[in-house]
Every structure is written in structure tokens, then in C-alpha cells.
Amino acid sequence: MQESSQIKRNAGLTIGLALALALALGACSGGSTQSPSDDAASEGVSDSVNACQGLESTLDTDGDGSPDSCDPCPLDSPDDTDGDGVCDSGDTCPGSDDSADSDGDGLADACDPDPDCPKATCVEKVCDDRLDDDSDGAIDCLDVDCQTTPACEENTLAACSDSIDNDGDGLTDCAADGCKELLPVCPRLRATATGEVTWQVTFDAAGMAAGATNCSYTRSYSSVQDDSVEWLCPDCEMLLVADVAMSAGEADCYSQISEYAPALREWIGWGNGTYYRGLGSRMTAQGTATAVGDTVTVANEVLDQSFPAGGAFQFDVSGHFTLGEEEGDPLHGFRPPETYACGWPKSDAPEYTGHYVLTVGETLPDGVFLDICKEPVRLHDFAGRYLVINVGVLDCSACKIAAETEAEFLATMATLGIDVEVIDLMGLSLDDVLGDVSTRQMTDWNRKYGLDSPILADRAYGYTLFSGPLGEFSTPAFAIVAPDLTIIDLSNGFGDWSAMQEVIEADLGQ
């Protein structure tokens, strides 16, 4: 070993110095002191009591009782604490074996931050050779020394399909965070819920006298997770859109209490033990939801419902859903692209985690909507300029009047050096504010009024959010938003754009 050779050289040097010292002492004595006849070292000490036979034994630098001339570590007491053959004063890794150097970089494994890597940081070929290079029982990326290297990032097509826990986090391939939704090897998954809910209808005496009969009807649900419309149920931990069919009781029961055809699509969800349900706008609490394993049981009681023929009735609601999972996008395609084909700005603002309530002084709730380029567009991507969110419908007279002078307003603000964008969030009609607006309808609107502004197809965002702070929903409704996405004004109805200009200039202190 290199270290043992060094010790021997140190010892030899010590012996040489001792002999020189002995000779010097002899010369100074002038011959007046006679060495014993058995004093091989000529130091005046009999060999019979000399701790270092034949060598000088009176010098002990480290005071450990072993003369320097025969002390393997004359400068250390104790000599070699960890027993690795290296004197303590020259030990590069106290407490461990300095000779264990797997990567040959001069650092003992126990004191090397990357003992299986020949440099200060791991290199890919060492952490990806399927060998336990440092003999610690962990191979490649299961070794903590390798888990921050490029070889161990589990976020590529290869790493997400090799059946190996590359980053050592206990999750393999598509279960790892870096692999989820990495197409095509890791398809997107969404929750499903199927089940039935029954409404038991009980009439009071007056209702019975009017000809009603107690009965029940049942709806069957086939639903999938829908995370694209969080504003419908901010309190839902699980939100789903459901295809609904009346499986029993439509003719002899449901028809007694409603003149309308049963809905074919609903949104359902639950959170904090509450069951929520809605038809496309803000969902309402509909009793309790109890989850046990893969089953969610719902129950509700609704009293004192007016019966048109006279009297009243009540609902006793009960049902259950079985949860599952399937391949599919929980955002239903509402994922903004890297860049917009229509040329809209792309701020890539942080993910919105706030409430879905419009409040002056608070951040505008985010949302994603289709534009005329048939791409999903995110509201928060327009951050960095003043925004006027204009919620309208295609057949609204005041909306049309606002559209006629919208371009003029934007030109005026540009002349003043104020960066403003109007975002027209458009619903279908006054009779169907929740109806879907087509790309063709939006394109025709912009062409008719000569607009270059983004026009987006509303998805109940405007109706749901503007109904609260402004009372009963009416169009057009406006939110004026500062460059940092803070709402600075809310209003409905339209007179002219000068009111918007005044709000923005006041915010700027002009």
C-alpha cells in the first residue's frame, strides 16, 4: 500500500536522524562518558533496556512511550485511530479505511460524496451501467449518489418505459410524476363513476286528493372526470360530466312532477362529504356523499315541494356510484399549446389555485376556452396588459353596439400608449346562455365588426361567475383587469367605452 510505504520512509528518516544525533552527542562528550559495551546505538543506553534495539531510544516526539526511531507514527498519539494503516496526521478520511477508493479519485469512499463516480458529480455511464459500483447494495439510480444525475431522471420516453424505478422514488414508469401523461407511452387517465340514483316521491294528502300517486324514478349515470370547468364546483374534490338516462319511472312518476324532458347530461361531484349536482352552471349541494373504497353513496331529503295540481310533495333521494379509471384526458383537450396559432400572447403565468368568485381587488379566476383558430386559450396568458373581459351572447343588442365601437376604443388606448386587450367571451343566445358557440359563429362576429380581438367560446364561466357579484345575470357584463390580473372594476350593461377608459386611466393615476 502507498500509505504503508510512506510510514516506512518516515520511520527510516527518523532512524537516520537518531543516528546523526547520537554521533553528535558522542563528539560533544569529549570521550568523558563511556557507553556500555552492549550499547549498539552508542547512546549511553544498554541494549538490554533499549526499547529500540540498535537504534536511538531517548527521543519520543509524540510522548506516547514509543521512541521515535521505532514509532511508525512518531508525530501521532495514538498512531492510527481507525486502523487503516495511515497515521492520524495524514489520514484523509478519519474513522474509515483510506484504501477503499472505488472510483480512484484520491478520496476514500466514506468521505467521497460520489464514491461510484470518478469526478465530483456522477457521470451517466457510471450511474447507468446496471452495476453496484460502490458495493453498497444499491444499483445505479437506486443509489442515493446517482439520483440527481441525468441518467436517473424519470421523464423521458425511454426512462418511462423501461420497467425500472430510475430515480429511486419507489414509482416505476407511468406511475412516476415525471412520466404521467407523457404520450404515447403513458396515456392520460381519468376517473369514472357509474351508478344509479333513485328519487322516491311522496305526496301529502292534498296532492293525493288532486290525483297524484306516490312513486319513484331512477336515473342511470355514466360519468367521467372533468377538470376543465372548475368554476362549476369550486368545492368539489371530484368533478365529473355524466351521460344520464331515465332507467325507471319516467312515465308514471317523473311526468307527475315535471313538464320538462329529463336532462341527458349533468355534472356531478363531491367534496368534504357533500354531493353536488348541476346542469352546466354553478352546481348546488344535493345532500351527502360518503366514499368507502371504490363506492360513493349519496343521499338527500327535499321537503315541501309545490305540486302544480295542489298540495305538496317531498323527495327522498338515494343512490351509489362505483368508481373506476379509464384512458382519457381529464381536461377534455382544454390544454393550451406552447404557442397560439392566432398569435395571442403567452405569459405562462403560474397555475391558478384561487377561488372562482369575482371580487374587485382579487385575481381574475382563470379559464380555458376555444378561439377561432380552434385552439384552447387561457385567460391568464394575457397577463401583462390591461384586459377588458366582455361577456356577451350573439343575439344581445347591447353586445352588438359594444362590438361596433370596440376597435375604436382599442385604437384610442393605443394612441395614449396604454396596452389594452378586449377579450370577448361569447355565449350562444339569451335563451341559451349555456349553449355551445361554434368557431364559424365567432369568426363571423369578428368579420362583421372588423375585430382582431380574441373572441372565445364561453363555457358557463361568464354566466356562473358574473351572476354572483352583479346580481341577476345580464349581458354584456364587464370585468376590467390590471396587468397583474387583479380585478379593478365589475359592471354590466353598456353605454360607451369611455367608462372603461376612465377606470383604466384612474388605475394608472392619470
Better pLDDT: 426 or 3: 426
Q: In Å, how far are 129, 147, 153 from 122, measured between CA atoms? A: 12, 9, 13
Better pLDDT: 86 or 444: 444
What's the one-letter identity of residue 408? Answer: E
Q: Name residue, grid cell 348546488.
A: 284
Q: Which three cell numbers stand for residue 97?
A: 479505511
Q: What are the φ/ψ torsions at residue 140 (nearest 5 degrees)?
A: 45, -120
Q: Which of 231, 246, 209 is nearest to 283 (CA)?
A: 231
pLDDT at 116: 57
Q: In which region does residue 272 sit, left (phi positive, over 0), alpha (psi from -120 to 50) or beta (all else)?
A: left
A 10 A CB-CB count for 323 gives 16
Q: Name residue, grid cell 316521491.
A: 201
pLDDT higher than threshold 60 for residue 1: no
The model's pLDDT over 347-388, given as tens digits with 9 standing for 90+, comes to 999 999 999 999 999 999 999 999 999 999 999 999 999 999
Banded model confidence at residue 468, pLDDT cuts 50, 70, 90: confident
Averaged pLDDT for residues 277-297:
97
- Prediction pTM value: 0.68
pLDDT > 70 in the chain, percent: 79
Task: Name the β-bridge partners of 376.
Answer: 370
Mind listing the domains of the chain with CATH numbers? 2-90 (no CATH), 189-327 (2.40.160), 368-507 (3.40.30.10)
Banded model confidence at residue 140, pLDDT cuts 50, 70, 90: confident
Better pLDDT: 166 or 183: 166
pLDDT, averaged across the chain:
84
Angle at 437 between CA 341 and CA 466, to 5 degrees: 100
Better pLDDT: 347 or 69: 347
Q: Which three cell numbers stand for residue 53?
A: 534495539
Give CA torsion, residues 398, 403, 405, 409, to 10 deg.
110
pLDDT at 345: 97
> Alpha-carbon distance 67 to 244, whole Å?
97
> Alpha-carbon distance 487 to 449, whole Å?
27
Banded model confidence at residue 113, pLDDT cuts 50, 70, 90: low
In terms of Cβ atoms closer than 10 Å to its own Cβ (0-12, 13-18, 19+), residue 178 is middle
The model's pLDDT over 381-424, given as tens digits with 9 standing for 90+, comes to 999 999 999 999 999 999 999 999 999 999 999 999 999 999 99
- Show the beta-strand stretches assigned E in 204-347: 215-225, 238-248, 265-271, 274-278, 284-292, 295-306, 312-327
Q: Which of 418, 364, 353, 416 is nearest to 389 (CA)?
A: 364
DSSP letters of 109-140? GGG-SSTTSSSSS--TTTTTSSS-TTSSS--G
Banded model confidence at residue 462, pLDDT cuts 50, 70, 90: very high
Spatial CB neighbours of 506, under 8 Å, sequence gap ≥ 6:
none
> Alpha-carbon distance 308 to 311, whole Å?
8
pLDDT at 353: 94
